[in-house]
Chain A
C-alpha cells in the first residue's frame, strides 16, 4: 500500500481493496519500524485511527473527497488544535494551539488522516534540519547525510514512505531543497496562493506553504485542497483556483524553457550539471524549445534575503517572551531576567543568530543601508523574473549545488550553509512559484530539477512536471530499506 500514489489509494479505498483504517494502521506501523530517521516529532496514533474510521464511514456514505482516508503528515510549523505544535523549538515544546491552521483545517475537512507532526529546522531556519531542538533528521538515501531543510522531516517521511504526502513551507527553499535532496516532488506556490493563517511565521513576506509528495499528480491533488483566498490572511490573493489536475496531461510541445546562465556557473558541481542537462534534454525530446537567458541580479539574492528574512523574523519571534505561552525560564527575578533567560534558553543558536542580524539591520542608522537597500534589490530580482518570464514559459535549473551533504558538515559554517541556497532563494524574493522534481542520482543520492513559473502558473508547472514523470521513473525510486 505504501508505494501507491494518492490517486491509486483513492481508487483502492473505493473498490474496497483496503480500508482507510488498514491503510492508516500500515503507515503507523512503518513509522514505528523506522524511528532512526527522526522525521516525526509527534505521532498522533489515536486521533489518526479515529479519523480513519470516520473516513471509512464517509467513503461508505459515498460523499468522500479524493483525499478522504488518505494519510498525511503536517510539518510541525502548522498549528493543530489539541496537538503539540513545536516549530522544532524548545521554546514551543509545551505549546498546544487552541486552533487549526487554515491548511490543517482544509485537509481535515477533506477527510485526510493526519498521522502526526513532522520534524523541521527550528522556526524553519536552516537548510539541513540540524537546527531542530528534536535532533537532526536523517536522509533515507544515506543515513549519514542531511535530508535538507527546513522541511527535512516532511521530505524524509515522504521519501521513506512513512506518509503518503506531507505539507511543507518554503521561505528560501525549504520545500524544494529537501525535496531535491530526498528525491521527492515539492512545490512552492506563488506567494499568496496558500493561506499563511496558523503557519508560524518566520519571514512573513516570503513564507509560503505547499505540497510535498511522490509525484506531480499527488502535489496537484494536495494543492487543490490547500490553495485559495482566506479572509484571515490579508496577503492571500483572491483569485479563482483552477483545477490543477485538468491540465496535467496537456502536451508540452513548443514550451519555451529558459536556462539562466547564472545557474550554470562554476558553483555547480559537474555531476549535478550533467544530470540537469540530461533532464533538459528530455524536455527537448518532448518538444520544448531551450533558450539561454540571463538574470544579472540573481547574485544579489542571498545578501538581500539575509537582510529581509532576519529583519522580519526579529519582529515575528518577539512574541516568544515567556509571558503567555511557550518556554519560561525558572524563577525569574524580574522582567528583564524573564525575557533574557526565557529567550536565551528557549531559542537555539541559528534562531538567535538571525534575530540578532535582523535586529541590527533594522536599527536606527542602519535601516536605510540594509533594509531599504535589500528591498530595492528585491525589486530588481523580481524585475529579472518578470523580464525572463515574458520571454520564456518557464525557467529551469538545479535546486542545489550538490547532493545531500553530511550531517555535521556545514552546521558550524553558517555562511557556507547560506550559500547552498543560491538556486532557491531568489524565487521567494520574487514571489513566483517553483517546483523541485526528481531528475536522477549522483553517487546514489537524488538530484532535483527546478522548474520556475510565472505568478499563479502552478497548473502549468504541475503539467510540465507531470509530463516529465510520464517518461522518467526517478520519482518512483524508493530508498533501500524502505521498500
Chain B
C-alpha cells in the first residue's frame, strides 16, 4: 500500500432483526420457505392493505441504541423511499429518513492491540425487499417475496475507519454485539448481516475527504477486507495516473476479486422521501426505555472486565471467552456445575474444547461435549481421580460418544491409583531392576529421576497419582 495516501471508510451495516413476524405484517420471517409462501396481502402490496408496526422490532432497535450508548429518539418517523423494482411490491420501501429511531452512538474496536472508538451516526428501522431470481426462468425473472417486509436495522457509521483491517474489526465487533444482544442471528450466508462500504482516499495530511465510491452488499468479513483493499488500490492507481474518482455505486465480484460500477451519481435515484401517512410517529417514553433496559444483557466489554476480575483471567482468555455470548455462558456454566477453579475451566474451554470445535468447524452452540459433561470431567481432575494427561484421553472419547467422564473412566479403568502400597511395590521392583541408574542418581545425576518416574508410570499404565510417585521415589532413592 502506498504510504502517501490515507484511506477513509464508513460502513452501512444492514442487520436483520430476530422478530417472529415481519415489521409491518403478521407473516413469518423464517428463512428458507418455498417462494412466496411467507408473504401475506400486506407483503404483496395488494390494493387497500395497510402496514402495522411490529412493536418487537422497535424494542430490538431500542436495545441496540442503548448498547451503543446512543440517544434513543423519543419521536421517530417512518418515511417512504420511492423507487420501482419488481421485488419491491409497493414501489416504495418503508424506511426512516429524517428522524431515525437511534441517534449518534459509538463502538470501540481493537486493531493490533490499539483501541479505537468508531462513531455511529444513526441506526434506523426499515423493511427488506423481496428477491429477484434470474436462474431457471428462461429469459424471465422470478420474484420471491418471502423476504419482503423482514425488519432490518441499518447502522450507519461515521467515516472513522482508516484501513480495511479497521473496517473488518468494526464489522466483527458489530456482528458480535447484535448477536450478544439477541437482536439478530447474524447469519451472513442467509443475508441477515451484510454491509455497504463507502471508501475514499486522500493525500496524507489533507483535511477534505476524497470522492467516495460505495461498494454494495458485501456479506462476509473476508470479502469486506478484499473489496475495500481492491477499491483502495483502484482509486490510488486512478488518481496517480491522472484520473479522477467519481461518486458511484460499485459491486464487488468475489469470484474475480474486483469491484465494478453499478451506477453513477447522475444515474442515482431521487428517492423522494416523505413521511409515510399510513403510520403514526413512533413515540418512545421513559417507561418503554426502562423496560428495554431491564432486559438488556451484560455487554461484551463489561463481561470481559468482570471475567478478568472475578475469575482472575488474563486479557487473552477473557477476550476469547467473551467473544460470543453462548461461549461465555458455557464457560460460566462449567464453573458452576464443576465447582472447579476458574483457571482450570478457562484452560479447558479455550484449549481443548475450542481447539476441537475449530478443527471440526463447529460453533459452541453445536458442541458435542455439553457443559454438564465437561464439568463432569473437570471434577475428576480436581479430585485427582485422573491426571491431566488421562483427562485429555477421556475428552477425546467424550467427543466421539455421549458417555459421561465417569462412565468412560470406569469402562476403561482409567482411574488414577493413589494406593501407596501398590505404587511402593512397583517402585521397589523398578529400583531393583535398574541398579546402574540408581548408582548414577545417587552420584548426583538428578536428571535420571525422570527415568524412574517414567518407568513407574509406564508400568502402571499412566494411572498412578504422579504426586505420590514423586514423593515415594524421592524417599526411596535418597535413602
- With A85-B47, A98-B46, A234-B278 already in contact, the answer to whether A318 and B84 are too (CB < 8 A) is yes
Q: Give Cα A234–Cα B276 distance, bound, in whole angstroms.
A: 11
Whether the Cβ atoms of A319 and B278 lie closer than 8 Å is no
How extensive is the interface on chain A, given as a class? 35 or more
Nearest-neighbor residue (CB-CB) of B280 within chain A: A234
Q: Give Cα A318–Cα B45 distance, bound, in whole angstroms.
A: 10
Tell me which residues across on chain A come within 8 A of B280, comparing CB atoms: 234-235
- State which residues 52-108 of B face A: CB under 8 Å: 52-53, 80, 82, 84, 86, 89-92
Q: Is B242 an interface residue (CB 8 A)?
A: no
**In the complex, what's the smallest C-beta–C-beta distance from B129 to chain A, in angstroms?**
13
Q: Is B239 an interface residue (CB 8 A)?
A: no
Whether the Cβ atoms of A95 and B47 lie closer than 8 Å is yes
Tell me which residues across on chain B come within 8 A of A317, comparing CB atoms: 91
Tell me which residues across on chain B come within 8 A of A201, comparing CB atoms: 47-48, 278
Whether the Cβ atoms of B274 and A367 lie closer than 8 Å is yes
Tell me which residues across on chain A come within 8 A of B277, comparing CB atoms: 203-205, 235, 312
Tell me which residues across on chain B come within 8 A of A314, comparing CB atoms: 82, 272
Candidates A199, A315, A324, A364; contact of B48 at CB < 8 Å: A199
Q: How many residues of B contact A (CB 8 A)?
A: 28
**Could you mark each residue 109-143 of chain B with 1 if its beta carbon is under 8 Å from any beta carbon of chain A, else 0?**
00000000000000000000000000000000001
Name the prevailing secondary structure of the B interface residues.
loop
**In the complex, what's the smallest C-beta–C-beta distance from B48 to chain A, in angstroms?**
4
Most chain A beta-carbon contacts within 10 A, residue among B84, B89, B277: B277
**In the complex, what's the smallest C-beta–C-beta distance from A237 to chain B, in angstroms?**
10
Candidates B47, B52, B80, B84; contact of A339 at CB < 8 Å: B84
**Could you mark each residue 55-93 of chain A with 1 if its beta carbon is under 8 Å from any beta carbon of chain B, else 0?**
000000000000000000000001100000101000010
Whether the Cβ atoms of A371 and B278 lie closer than 8 Å is no
Tell me which residues across on chain A come within 8 A of B272, comparing CB atoms: 314-315, 359, 362-364, 367
Tell me which residues across on chain B come within 8 A of A126, comparing CB atoms: none
Whether the Cβ atoms of A321 and B274 lie closer than 8 Å is no
- State which residues 314-339 of A face B: CB under 8 Å: 314-315, 317-321, 323-326, 335, 339
Whether the Cβ atoms of B45 and A324 lie closer than 8 Å is yes
- With A234-B279, A235-B280 already in contact, the answer to whether A319 and B86 are too (CB < 8 A) is no
**In the complex, what's the smallest C-beta–C-beta distance from A373 to chain B, in angstroms?**
13
Whether the Cβ atoms of A315 and B274 lie closer than 8 Å is yes
Nearest-neighbor residue (CB-CB) of B78 within chain A: A234
- With A97-B48, A234-B51, A321-B91 already in contact, the answer to whether A371 and B274 are too (CB < 8 A) is yes
Q: Give Cα A200–Cα B50 distance, bound, in whole angstroms.
A: 10
Q: Is B30 an interface residue (CB 8 A)?
A: no
Q: Give Cα A92–Cα B48 distance, bound, in whole angstroms.
A: 12
**In the complex, what's the smallest C-beta–C-beta distance from B283 to chain A, in angstroms?**
13
**In the complex, what's the smallest C-beta–C-beta distance from A239 to chain B, in angstroms?**
15
Q: Is A198 an interface residue (CB 8 A)?
A: yes
- State which residues 281-298 of A face B: CB under 8 Å: none
Q: Is B246 an interface residue (CB 8 A)?
A: no
**Could you mark each residue 352-370 of chain A with 1 if its beta carbon is under 8 Å from any beta carbon of chain B, else 0?**
0000000100111001000
Q: Give Cα A233–Cα B91 distance, bound, in whole angstroms.
A: 20
Tell me which residues across on chain B come within 8 A of A78, comparing CB atoms: 48
Whether the Cβ atoms of B47 and A234 lie closer than 8 Å is no
Whether the Cβ atoms of A98 and B41 lie closer than 8 Å is yes
Q: Is B3 an interface residue (CB 8 A)?
A: no
Q: Give Cα A103–Cα B91 distance, bound, in whole angstroms.
A: 26
Whether the Cβ atoms of A319 and B274 lie closer than 8 Å is no
Q: Is A101 an interface residue (CB 8 A)?
A: yes
Q: Is B44 an interface residue (CB 8 A)?
A: yes
**Could you mark each residue 227-245 of chain B with 1 if its beta carbon is under 8 Å from any beta carbon of chain A, else 0?**
0000000000000000000
Tell me which residues across on chain A come within 8 A of B80, comparing CB atoms: 315
Q: Give Cα A62–Cα B51 distance, bound, in whole angstroms.
A: 39
Please list the 9 inter-chain residue pairs (A to B) with the smallest Cβ-Cβ separation, ordered nearest first: A318-B91, A205-B277, A362-B272, A204-B277, A198-B48, A319-B45, A79-B48, A200-B47, A364-B270
Using a CB–CB cutoff of 8 Å, the interface residues on chain A facing chain B are: 78-79, 85, 87, 92, 95, 97-99, 101, 196-201, 203-205, 231-235, 311-312, 314-315, 317-321, 323-326, 335, 339, 359, 362-364, 367, 371
Using a CB–CB cutoff of 8 Å, the interface residues on chain B facing chain A are: 41, 44-53, 80, 82, 84, 86, 89-92, 143, 270, 272-274, 277-280
